Amino acid sequence: MSLTVARFNTAVGRLHRAAKDMHRHIGFAQPVLMLVPDVGESVFVVLPGGTPKSAAGAPRCGPAREFGSAAAAISAES
């Protein structure tokens, strides 16, 4: 079974709700990388140093390869 758009949208909705909850509880939404596999539950990786494109966030990309993610999404504030 491959990842569907509907399943990805559901996962992104959960990520967005989690970011809103964090903003309400601690005052900001910490960047989080969500890895979505073809089958199974998504994995969330907190990015305390920033997004994977930043120098501090780049080392956190390893789990995407290890996990075999089919898609990814990042939450952040703007």
The per-residue pLDDT for range 58-68, each reduced to its tens digit, is 555 566 667 77
- 46 vs 36: CA distance, rounded Å: 15
Q: Where are the domains of the chain?
A: 1-30
How high is the pLDDT of residue 41?
87
For residue 23, is pLDDT > 80? yes
For residue 38, is pLDDT > 90? no
Nearest to 53 by CA among 26, 31, 68: 31
Taking residues 21-30, report their average pLDDT: 85
DSSP helix/strand/coil, 19: helix
Range with the largest mean pLDDT of 24-28, 54-58, 59-63: 24-28
Taking residues 22-37, report their average pLDDT: 86
